[in-house]
Amino acid sequence: MRRGFRSSLALGAALVATILIVAGCGSDDTAANNGNERGEVVVSAATSLKSAFTRYGEQFAGAEAQFSFAGSDELAAQIRAGAKPDVFASANTKLPDALFQEGLVERPRVFASNRLVLAVPAMSTSVGSLDDLEKKGVSVVIGSESVPIGAYTRKVLDRLDGAARTAILANVRSNEPDVGGISAKLTQGAAEAGFLYVTDVVAANGRLKAIELPAALQPQVAYGVAIVKGAEHRRAAQAFVAGLLDGDGAEALRSAGFEPPGQ
Amino acid sequence: MTRGRWFAPALVVALAGALTFLTLPVVAIFVRSSPGNLLGALDDPGVLDALWLSLRTTLVAVAIIVVVGTPAAYLLATRTFRGHAVVVTLVELPLVLPPAVAGVGLLAALGPGGIVGGAIEDAGVRLVFETAGVVVALTFVAAPFFIRGAQAAFGAVDRSWLEASRTLGAGEARTFLRVAIPAAAPGMLAGLALAWGRAVGEFGATLIFAGSFRGRTQTAPLAIYERLGTDFDAALALSAVLVAVSGALLLTAKLLGGRGIARAAR
């Protein structure tokens, strides 16, 4: 019985080795196949780019675009942990610049700019201006500090006087991990107001309305894109980025409400 | 080679593969978080707030689950009625629902614009963005774990004990409290440990329904998610704490469940 068990173990080990070898060959084969025909391009992008990029992806001829949308900070963390998408598009320039410094991505480019607005449900009557956020009991949702929308929002609040800032922060009910969370809380009527990009309000298809912020409070919102070092589909990634700067991608961004870089 | 000699090795391979795959992430959490940075992360007041909130909300959720779930499970275990199987299936449904679906469902039902949300708000109860909302989300996802366990435990209690108790003049309520619950206790506690473990790990339903705010709705799993981008060490350390807590709960469930089965067999 014991002998039987031991030889089972030996045979088992042999089987594992075989499986590993077969799996190894398999991955070599796929790597070799990537060169030809229409491949794919894997894009990690900020949630706020979702509608613009989805539309661009449908038109993009260079490859089948596969998107992963999340908070820019989460996507950057994945790349730091060793994930290799082909393209990283962030709702700021800080994260791609930092990844560039760390040698994880190629030199980033600014491809769009955006604008922060105060977003409220379309039917809302309780909040009509920034001042209304100071009223006691108004429920406000913002992005968490680590995600770009949250960092920009804190910049806006920092430009207000102390009393106003304190009153608004006291009304913050949730720090959401990305713009999708903020948008959902507003469209569901769970919160009365939130800070979003103007493009998020456009993407909500009439369920949200935007209240413009005074120009003096407006932070500079620039979107950076970079090709990830060691990208598996580098050529497609270059074409994808080029289209963002000038082409179908740039057009999709404009119709989603993004402005050209440096505006 | 004799016929069938490949079978036992194949079983060993399958188990070795499963074991490696299932333990690797847990091992990695402890390998990558040194005791030093674990303690350092526990210095972070945000991490402590999250752990404390998780403890409070899970305890309240588990208490609600036990108080309501125990009689409900007793009924399901001791009576048969039309639609019994349907009721059991509906009660167990949250077990297989994706947490995001649970969150969306809770928002659609109990949120400000939900089908009964208005009535709840009129009653002066606020759930979304409140600690009470976290408790609701945890109760929803964890309750079936306890009800299932308790139902099985009550089902395993020897019917003749319950009948003897009643023949001796104890009413049904007394029989339930004095005979059925003590006899089913190990199985119930095992179910409770599983429910608690599920509640501790809850993420999606909480985020969608209750939001994420430090000290109010940001439980430990939400705090891990928030730190992922900026402070991976803290995320690892908090994960290590949750692995320890969840492991302890599972072990409790195993030990109690084992004893329950042993007792039932006697």
Find chain A residues with C-beta within 8 A of B13's C-beta.
Answer: 12, 15-16, 19
Q: Taking a C-beta distance cutoff of 8 angstroms, is the pair A89, A111 a contact?
A: yes
Distance to chain B for A96, nearest Cα, Å? 13
Q: What is the mean pLDDT of the segment spanning B69-95?
A: 94
A135 and A212 share a domain? yes
Ligand-binding annotation for A124, yes or no, is no
β-pairing, A172-176 with A40-46?
Answer: unpaired
Q: How far apart are CA A32 and CA A59, in angstroms?
A: 27
CA-based nearest residue to A181, from A104, A70, A103 = A70
| Chain B residue whose CA is closest to A72 | B229
Look up the CATH number of the domain holding residue A231. 3.40.190.10
CA-based nearest residue to B242, from B73, B99, B58 = B58
Q: How far apart are CA B34 and CA A250, in angstroms?
A: 46
pLDDT of residue A21: 52
Please tell me if residue B83 touches chain A, with a CB cutoff of 8 Å.
no
Q: Which of A23-37, A117-131, A210-224, B251-265 has the lowest mean pLDDT?
A: A23-37
| Structural domain boundaries in chain B | 35-265
Which helix (H) or strand (E) element contains residue A142? strand A140-143
**How many Cα atoms within 13 Å fall on the side-chain side of residue B106?**
30
For A229-242, what is each residue's pLDDT tens digit?
999 999 999 999 99
Q: How far apart are CA B134 and CA B57, in angstroms?
A: 7
Closest CB to B226 among A7, A144, A185: A144
Find chain B residues with C-beta within 8 A of A189's C-beta.
Answer: 111-113
- What stretches of B154-229 adopt beta strand conformation (E)? none
How many domains in chain A?
2
For A145-197, what is each residue's pLDDT tens digit?
988 999 999 999 999 999 999 999 999 999 999 898 999 999 888 899 999 99
Please tell me if residue A124 touches chain B, with a CB cutoff of 8 Å.
no
Report the C-alpha dihedral over residues B1, B6, B8, B9, rounded to 10 degrees: 110
A30 domain-assigned? no
Other Cβ atoms less than 10 A from the Cβ of A21: the count is: 10
Ligand-binding annotation for A255, yes or no, is no
A212 and A181 share a domain? yes
Q: Which of residues 126-145 of A touch B (CB under 8 A)?
A: 139, 141, 144-145
A122 and A212 share a domain? yes
Write the CATH number of the domain with boundaries B35-265.
1.10.3720.10
| Chain B residue whose CA is closest to A178 | B226
Which domain covers residue A238, as residue numbers? 40-113+222-255
ipTM of the complex: 0.73
The one-letter amino acid at B167: T
